[in-house]
Amino acid sequence: MKYPNNLIKTYKKPLTYKNRGMDLENELNESNKYYREIDKALIYKKPTPIGVSNVIYTDKGKVIERGFFKEPSTLDYNGLYREKYIEYEAKVTKNKTSFPLANIHPHQIKHIENVLRHKGIVFLIIKINEIVYLLRGKDFINYINTHERKSIPYEFIKDVGYKIKYSYRPALDYLKIVDEIYFNGGNQ
Amino acid sequence: MKYPNNLIKTYKKPLTYKNRGMDLENELNESNKYYREIDKALIYKKPTPIGVSNVIYTDKGKVIERGFFKEPSTLDYNGLYREKYIEYEAKVTKNKTSFPLANIHPHQIKHIENVLRHKGIVFLIIKINEIVYLLRGKDFINYINTHERKSIPYEFIKDVGYKIKYSYRPALDYLKIVDEIYFNGGNQ
């Protein structure tokens, strides 16, 4: 998806938020595509849940004439890695000091707890201050269970999360971090 | 989704096909909801992949004014069961003698092979002649690799597949079959 240049540079427009979100999403989609190509992992972004209110039939097939975005109850990405179930959510914040918890729906928080209990690998990928962190589901749940805050301080993410470095291919080699924390004596 | 009565009864209309498909889908969604309630498994239907061509902003939020259905490259349902990755596709055919392979997209066939290679649990749930069968991914792939046909004969599904019985709750206790074939010395 391309936006005109002038919109990319107006950092306060809502479109830019979306665009920043799309950057991380594209980087992860590209990385997952690369992982599939080298047969390392099968991880896909789930389609955005959409409610279809009206469908018409055209010569090009069924076309949606009215639809709406629904709230997700699971996380955005899931799949299979090293014979394990893996699931995560990716979020970008332009906030510099904390990650607002409004980014994660209550159903999703419950779902993270469920996946942990069923021994799946689950985490968040958070881009904050232009740095990408992996925050384990376990650490995320621990934080929200022990703090009465509406956001997670950047300091916590920096201390407890794992930095994912940018590289050429894959753009974000997050499975390297997953290897370190989930497959080398680490726990979920 | 409710259809007017007269449409439900006209068995030759395309809408009815869809409706039959919806029955199995609803039965599986209900069963998966039940499995979550008793904390047995975390299995969800993925949202239908949709391409959004046009979005408008209304007082009710973002609304899709134009969208189209995309071809899926993975299977409809996936999740986590007994610490394993599980994925399947559910299909209904009104064909009495065979299951037309046009029901499964080439990308999905490739994906089934991928999941098998990565040691996930993968299968098809096929409703044919009003009976529901679980056909292991392995058996499905073996069949299409050794036969030059555009459909799988009912006899094969009956012989090689596993019948899933209807019950009260869950409506379709397919995890009982999964237990038998994937967790009791069976292989994928």
Q: What is the pLDDT of residue B185?
A: 56
DSSP state for residue A165 in the 8-state scheme: P
Please give the backbone phi and psi of residue A129, each rounded to the nearest 5 degrees, phi first.
55, 35
Spell B142-173 as b/e; 16+ CB within 10 A means b: ebeeeeeeebbebebbeebbbebeeeeebbbb
CB contact under 8 A, B41 and A118: yes
**pLDDT tens-digit map of B21-70:** 569 999 999 999 999 999 999 999 998 888 888 888 888 788 888 888 88
d(CA A149, CA A135): 17
What's the rounded mean pLDDT across residues B121-142? 97
Three-state secondary-structure class, residue A181: helix
> Domains of chain A, with CATH numbers?
5-182 (3.40.1350.10)
CB contact under 8 A, A115 and B80: yes
CB contact under 8 A, B63 and A67: yes
Among the partner residues A64, A114, A117, nearest to B50 by beta-carbon distance: A64
Q: What percent of chain B has pLDDT over 90?
A: 70
**pLDDT tens-digit map of A117-171:** 999 999 999 999 999 999 999 999 999 999 988 999 999 999 999 999 999 999 9
Alpha-carbon distance A132 to nearest alpha carbon in chain B (angstroms):
26
Please give the backbone phi and psi of residue A23, each rounded to the nearest 5 degrees, phi first.
-60, -50
Q: Cβ(A157)–Cβ(A126) under 8 Å?
A: yes
Alpha-carbon distance A153 to nearest alpha carbon in chain B (angstroms):
29
Among the partner residues A48, A65, A80, nearest to B118 by beta-carbon distance: A80
CB contact under 8 A, A49 and B44: no
CB contact under 8 A, B49 and A47: yes
What residues of chain B have any CB closer than 8 angstroms to a CB in chain A?
A: 36, 39, 41-42, 44, 46-50, 52, 60-70, 73-74, 78-81, 83-85, 87, 111, 114-115, 117-120
**Residue B4, pLDDT above cutoff 50:** no
CB contact under 8 A, B47 and A46: yes
DSSP string, A117-144: HTT-EEEEEEEETTEEEEEEHHHHHHHH
What's the rounded mean pLDDT across residues A92-116? 96
d(CA B154, CA B48): 28
CB contact under 8 A, A69 and B62: yes
For chain B, what is the HEC assignment?
A: CCCCHHHHHCCCCHHHHHHHHHHHHHHHHHHHHHHHHCCCEEEEECCCCEEEEEEEEECCEEEEEEEEECCCCCCCEEEEECCEEEEEEEEEECCCCEEEHHHCCHHHHHHHHHHHHCCCEEEEEEEECCEEEEEEHHHHHHHHHHCCCCEEEHHHHHHHCEEECECCCCCECHHHHHHHHHCCCCCC
Q: What is the pTM of this model?
A: 0.85
Q: How does residue A17 score in pLDDT terms, banded at 50, 70 and 90?
A: very low
Name, in order, each residue with C-beta under 8 angstroms of B177's C-beta and a sequence gap of 6 or more. B134, B162, B164
Predicted complex ipTM: 0.84
CB contact under 8 A, A80 and B115: yes
**pLDDT tens-digit map of A21-66:** 569 999 999 999 999 999 999 999 998 888 888 888 888 788 888 8
d(CA B172, CA B40): 14
Q: What is the pLDDT of residue B11?
A: 39
CB contact under 8 A, B63 and A66: yes
What's the rounded mean pLDDT across residues B98-107? 95
**Residue A10, pLDDT above cutoff 70:** no
**pLDDT tens-digit map of B157-184:** 999 999 999 999 999 999 999 999 999 8
Among the partner residues A46, A50, A119, nearest to B64 by beta-carbon distance: A50
Among the partner residues A42, A74, A78, nearest to B118 by beta-carbon distance: A42
Q: How does residue B13 score in pLDDT terms, banded at 50, 70 and 90?
A: very low
Q: What is the pLDDT of residue B53?
A: 85
